[in-house]
Amino acid sequence: MTVEEIQNGQLFLIDKPLDWTSFDVVNKIRWNLRKAYKIKKIKVGHAGTLDPKATGLLIVCCGKMTKQIDLIQAEEKTYTGTIKLGATTPTYDLESEEDHHFAIDHISPEYIHQTTAQFLGEIEQFPPMHSAIKIDGKRLYELARAGETAELKPRKVQIKKFEITKIELPYVDFEIECSKGTYIRSIANVFGKALNSGGYLTALRRTKIGDYSVANSNNEVLDLTYFEQFSTQD
């Protein structure tokens, strides 16, 4: 790749590592590009946030490809993951400790499979209080960490597929195909309530965004030497 090719736009498919934020990945690639190609300024952005405790496909665009971010974000997404039933956490995932516990003795595999039907099609969901959505200029997770609350409004999302792939109580594995803006953490939380219990995510992985698959990811771009091998040939 040349400097001109970088400026004209590149798209990178990243398998986001666990505990990295989406911005960590963007900043790492931006730094690598600037360092390898001696570029003072380069636009770099991602097409859809992944939570720190999630892994999987993160699409990073640079140069003129950043103009395609909104189009990519609008694509359907596919996730796999695990819900732990019988407990909840404030963040609806492993970023916080369990705060409440519930019975699961009444939950059968049949009950679990039947309950997924409630989530198919167009549904309304509330975003997690610990999310990056802004209200009055402040992100929800900032308010939550400060012990403040905010009035959350439900959002309409589309769930095309909600399949249970494995049951080993209290853990339930799933695969979900959904529209832009769907919070899988919220689904885990409400799924637990729908089973007259509690639930939160213990694992989440995004496998597809539209026609882009995590199987085609290339994490070598997180290493500076990946770009240096091209830039030194210019």
Q: Is the pLDDT of residue 223 over 70?
A: yes
Closest CA to 202 of 23, 115, 82, 110: 82
| 81-112 pLDDT, tens digit each | 999 999 999 989 998 899 999 999 999 999 99
Tell me how far CA of residue 113 lies from CA of 57, 165, 202, 207, in angstroms.
27, 10, 19, 22
- β-strand partners of 80: 175, 205
Calculate the average pLDDT of the chain: 90
Alpha helices in the chain (DSSP H): 3-8, 22-37, 69-73, 109-115, 140-145, 184-194, 224-231
> What is the Cα–Cα distance from 115 to 122, expressed in whole angstroms?
15
**What b-and-e string marks burial along 101-116, b requiring 16 or more CB atoms within 10 Å of the CB?**
ebebeebeeeebeebb
Greater model confidence, 209 or 232: 209
| 110-140 pLDDT, tens digit each | 999 999 999 999 999 877 655 555 555 555 5
Question: At 234, is the pLDDT very low, low, confident or very high (cuts 50, 70, 90)?
Answer: very low
Which pLDDT does position 63 carry in this prediction? 92
Q: Is the pLDDT of residue 232 over 70?
A: no
Annotated active-site residue in 15, 19, 24, 51? 51
Catalytic status, residue 211: no
CB 192 within 8 A of CB 92: no
Question: At 229, is the pLDDT very low, low, confident or very high (cuts 50, 70, 90)?
Answer: confident
Q: Please, how many CA atoms are within 13 Å of residue 61, restricted to the half-sphere of its CB?
A: 18
Closest CA to 23 of 58, 57, 53, 55: 58
| 167-215 pLDDT, tens digit each | 999 999 999 999 998 999 999 999 999 999 999 999 999 999 999 999 9
Which pLDDT does position 26 carry in this prediction? 96
Q: What is the model's pTM?
A: 0.88
Which pLDDT does position 145 carry in this prediction? 61
Which pLDDT does position 2 carry in this prediction? 82
